[in-house]
């Protein structure tokens, strides 16, 4: 099955459900805090709970299946990677989240697509929806809260899919604390029946190290003879770097200097003759 990258990025602290009693995930305890199914309670706050929604949080969603440009569509049956990313102005060390993908509107929304729980996460069924959420507190890495969720788009005819997520940054003590702050977001994806062609699967591509600090290498194998265009996109879809790679059928490695880039997610688009492949890279 073809794989593309759907960067679903939260560039701020958007909630962890680390109520001392809900560190294993809110849906597991009967709570929906994403906003799906018409639920208006999208805060991790409340009496004896976390500090709730924070004015210091921001949310970004990137669909990186079109070379880093934020798009809002999916191709039925294709497996994507939904990347949830957040940060917190106080650099709280741990976080948690709750994610759902649905179709329909309001209380009539139903499950759309299939998610796979990454490490430190589980899938909890609640009201017919499979919520992906933490199974334990997740540690920040260099100030970033990041979760990558494999997601296979639903069958043809499903129509618009809405993805919801709430993420909460916490101090990691396991106690209810008003300094733990959350926020939420959603994005809609329309169904796509045609799309940008993929580079042939015979061409092996890799970006390493990933995450990167000062530079990373683009490695290509079995690319034949020719010139490939490389575009680097930031989270807003802006091209921040370009380079050409000349290949000759053997292994080719090209080093990209990223030392001056702000930390976060970037899309590395490798393209030739209208076909492309997009690889995500994290700058720490």
Percent of the chain with pLDDT over 70: 78
User: Among 120, 91, 97, which Cα is nearest to 179's?
Assistant: 91
- CB distance 95 to 137 below 8 Å: yes
Average pLDDT over residues 232-252: 84
Q: How confident is the model at residue 60 (pLDDT cuts 50, 70, 90)?
A: low
Q: How high is the pLDDT of residue 18?
A: 35
Cis peptide before 209 (omega within 30 of 0): yes
Q: How confident is the model at residue 13 (pLDDT cuts 50, 70, 90)?
A: very low
Q: How high is the pLDDT of residue 4?
A: 52
For the chain, what is the radius of gyration of the CA atoms?
Answer: 19
Q: DSSP string of 11-60? A: -S--B----TT-TT-SGGGT---SSGGG-----SBSTTSB--B-TT----
Q: How high is the pLDDT of residue 35?
A: 92
The reported pTM is: 0.64
Average pLDDT over residues 7-34: 59
Average pLDDT over residues 183-191: 86
CB atoms within 10 A of CB 275: 14
Average pLDDT over residues 46-54: 57
Q: How high is the pLDDT of residue 126?
A: 95
Q: How confident is the model at residue 55 (pLDDT cuts 50, 70, 90)?
A: low
Average pLDDT over residues 18-42: 77
Domains and CATH numbers, the chain: 27-191 (2.60.40.4060), 197-283 (2.60.40.1930)
Q: How high is the pLDDT of residue 6?
A: 55
Q: HSE on the CB side for 44, CA within 13 Å? A: 37
Q: How high is the pLDDT of residue 109?
A: 96
Q: How confident is the model at residue 193 (pLDDT cuts 50, 70, 90)?
A: low
Q: How high is the pLDDT of residue 47?
A: 47
266 vs 179 pLDDT, higher one: 266
Average pLDDT over residues 64-79: 62
Q: How high is the pLDDT of residue 19?
A: 36
Strands (E) across the chain are located at 73-74, 79-86, 94-103, 110-111, 114-115, 121-126, 129-134, 138-139, 145-152, 161-170, 181-191, 197-198, 204-208, 215-221, 225-233, 239-248, 252-257, 264-272, 275-283
157 vs 249 pLDDT, higher one: 157
Residue 196 has pLDDT above 80, yes or no: no
Nearest-angstrom CA–CA distance, 96 and 227: 43
Average pLDDT over residues 104-117: 93
């Amino acid at each position: 099955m073809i794989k593309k990258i759907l960067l679903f990025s939260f560039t701020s602290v958007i909630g962890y459900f680390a109520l001392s009693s809900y560190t294993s995930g809110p849906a597991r305890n009967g709570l929906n805090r994403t906003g799906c199914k018409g639920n208006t309670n999208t805060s991790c706050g409340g009496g004896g709970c976390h500090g709730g929604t924070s004015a210091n949080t921001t949310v970004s969603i990137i669909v990186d299946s079109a070379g880093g440009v934020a798009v809002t569509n999916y191709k039925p049956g294709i497996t994507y990677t939904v990347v949830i990313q957040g940060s917190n102005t106080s650099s709280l060390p741990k976080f948690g989240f709750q994610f759902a993908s649905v179709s329909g509107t309001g209380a009539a929304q139903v499950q759309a697509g299939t998610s796979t729980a990454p490490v430190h996460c589980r899938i909890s069924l609640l009201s017919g929806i499979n919520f992906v959420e933490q199974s334990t507190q997740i540690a920040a890495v260099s100030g970033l809260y990041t979760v990558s969720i494999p997601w296979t788009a639903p069958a043809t005819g499903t129509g618009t899919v809405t993805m919801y997520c709430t993420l909460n940054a916490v101090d990691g003590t396991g106690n209810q604390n008003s300094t733990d702050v959350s926020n939420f977001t959603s994005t809609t994806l329309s169904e796509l029946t045609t799309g940008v062609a993929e580079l042939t699967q015979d061409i092996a591509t890799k970006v390493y190290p990933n995450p990167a600090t000062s530079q990373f290498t683009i490695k290509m194998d079995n690319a034949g003879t020719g010139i490939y265009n490389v575009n680097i996109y930031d989270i807003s879809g802006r091209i921040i770097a370009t380079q050409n790679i000349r290949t000759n059928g053997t292994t080719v490695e090209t080093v990209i200097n990223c030392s001056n880039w702000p930390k976060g997610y970037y899309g590395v688009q490798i393209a030739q003759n209208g076909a492309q492949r997009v690889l995500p890279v994290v700058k720490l």
